[in-house]
Amino acid sequence: MINRTRKYAVGAVAFLTTAVLFWVPFYFVIINSLKNKSESSELNMNWPSSFHLIENYREVLTASQNMLIRAFWNSALLTVLSVLILILVSAMAGFVLQRRAGGRGTATINFLILAGLMIPPAIVPTIWVLDALSLFKTLLGITLIEVALHFSFCVILYQSFVATLPREIDESAFIDGSGGLRLFFTIIFPLLKPVTSTIIILESISVFNDFVNPLYFFPGGDNVTVQLTLYNFMSMFTTSWNLLFANILLISIPPLILFLFFNKRIVEGMTSGALKG
């Protein structure tokens, strides 16, 4: 009886904490996106005197010559390309580094990968490099930036998962005449599905919601991403809070749906290596 009461108490505390940290701010954004400009400027959670759902969201979608629609396309394309390259490159690197653990130079490479998690990017030198390679303000350039910044995290996840796969799989494949690439793509990579699912979800949300990197490395009206559309309704002297909140809600829907439907896979992929180890 005591254990059951304690279980319900913990559940109630978790629910209230979730409500305060997530649902209350979410309600605040929704309710203010339905108000007119003067009421939304009060920044409270009072019910609107009149609803402006259609007007607000229509204005957000058509602002600056349909910039938000163009931004959704740019962000979606950037996210897909970045995640695909990340999965391919980091999975291969994680497999090789784990299988050659303790080998010559492996410790140095692992140190550099860990350094990638700790050392922040240098904005100006990176712009110089991109400009020298004619990649500044290009989709390929910002894609490579996203891949480089998330590479270390993905490699570490793949390394920990590959450690749970028996080396006998590799030996059997080599005996059967498989080469390195065939071994990886036909045998190893399909076994990495749990951690791959985790990386797809986490990195898709991270890249889609990225604000700083597109701002510095992918400027221009035609290159705008969803986070940068928030500037449409903010200025030095005035802010249209109702339109800003409507914009925030629209650009939050895709990551929110992705997280709600696949949150269990995130936990499975993050813990599978530890559980199997």
d(CA 97, CA 109): 8
* Mean pLDDT, range 36-41, rounded to an integer: 89
Short-list 155, 165, 151, CA closest to 119? 151
Q: Is residue 23 part of a domain?
A: no
Q: List, for residues 110-128, the tens digit of each pLDDT value.
A: 888 888 888 888 889 999 9
* Separation of alpha carbons 100 and 120, rounded Å: 28
Kindly report the CA angle at 97 between 92 and 102, in degrees rounded to 5? 165
In a domain, 50, yes or no: no
d(CA 220, CA 237): 23
- Residue 118's pLDDT is 85
32 within domain boundaries: no
Residue 14 lies inside a defined structural domain of this protein: no
Question: CATH number, domain at 105?
Answer: 1.10.3720.10
pLDDT value for 275: 45
Condensed to tens digits (0 to 9), the pLDDT of residues 133-154 reads 999 999 999 999 999 999 999 9
Q: Closest Cα to residue 92, out of 146, 45, 155? A: 155
In a domain, 223, yes or no: yes
Contacts of 57 (CB under 8 A, 6+ apart): 33, 246, 250
CA distance 252 to 231: 16
> What is residue 175's predicted lDDT score, i.e. its pLDDT?
82
pLDDT at site 272: 57
Closest by Cα among 49, 17, 51 to 33:
51
Query: 165: alpha, beta or left, given left = phi > 0 and alpha = psi -120 to 50?
Result: beta
Q: pTM of the predicted model, to two decimals?
A: 0.84
Give the tens place of pLDDT for each residue, 7-24.
Answer: 777 778 877 887 778 788
* Amino acid in the structure at residue 186: T
CB 188 within 8 A of CB 162: yes
Stated as kind and residue range, the H or E segment containing 202 is: helix 193-208
Contact status, residue 166 vs residue 231, Cβ threshold 8 Å = no
pLDDT (tens digit per residue) in 154-194: 999 999 889 888 888 888 888 887 787 888 888 899 999 88
Phi and psi torsions of 234, nearest 5°? -130, 140
Domain presence at residue 36: no
* The residue type at 189: F
Q: What is the DSSP-derived secondary structure letter of residue 122?
A: P
Q: Is residue 147 part of a domain?
A: yes
pLDDT at residue 60 tops 60 = yes
Is the pLDDT at 277 greater than 50? The verdict is no
**Does residue 79 fall inside a structural domain?**
yes
Task: Count how many domains the chain has.
Answer: 1
Residues of 63-95 as b/e, b for ≥16 C-beta within 10 angstroms? Answer: beeebbebbbebbeebbebbbebbbeebbbbbb
Query: With contact defined as beta carbons under 8 Å apart, do 191 and 237 qualify?
Result: no
46-50, 77-81, 136-140, 174-178: lowest mean pLDDT where? 174-178
* Domain of residue 102, residue span: 60-276
**What is d(CA 248, CA 4) in angstroms, rounded to the nearest whole number?**
41
Please report, as a single letter, which amino acid is at residue 182. Answer: R
